[in-house]
Amino acid sequence: MLDEAPGGTGKLLGVIDLDLCIPILTFVFGEAQLGGTGALVSLARLRQEFYGLDPDEALFLERLHKECLHELGHTYGLVHCHHPECVMYLSNTVHDVDRKGRTMCRACGDILQAGTKGG
């Protein structure tokens, strides 16, 4: 990944239409550099069709929104949260993605705000 985002943008988020995995997990919805500049989100398992179900564009876009926020949160130094409604909650299944919210819990929001002041 990149050490520095192009044009001084600060963060770079990629979206890929392929399934992703890491050495310790058979799949991930995304991956990011903790406190870095780069993040990547996979579309593959966010689609209903992956699970043999009819397409649902609104649900797909909601899942994508959450996972993009989640991975970007990692680039700002946030780790996984233990609150299931927080966007920084670890999603092991698509049902976890559906259950969590689009926003951070107060604790994660406070950490993010403290970390971005002056930067």
Residue 94 sits in a domain whose CATH number is 3.40.390.10
Residue 2 counted as domain residue: no
Q: How confident is the model at residue 4 (pLDDT cuts 50, 70, 90)?
A: low
Query: Which is catalytic among the residues 57, 62, 71, 85?
Result: 71
Residue 38 counted as domain residue: yes
Report how many domains make up the chain.
Answer: 1
Residue 78 counted as domain residue: yes
Torsion sign across C-alpha atoms 27, 72, 97, 50: negative
Residue 88 counted as domain residue: yes
| pTM to 2 decimal places | 0.86
Residue 119 counted as domain residue: no
pLDDT at 1: 42
| 71 catalytically annotated | yes
pLDDT tens-place string over residues 69-105 = 999 999 999 999 999 999 999 999 999 999 999 999 9
Residue 61 counted as domain residue: yes
Residue 90 counted as domain residue: yes
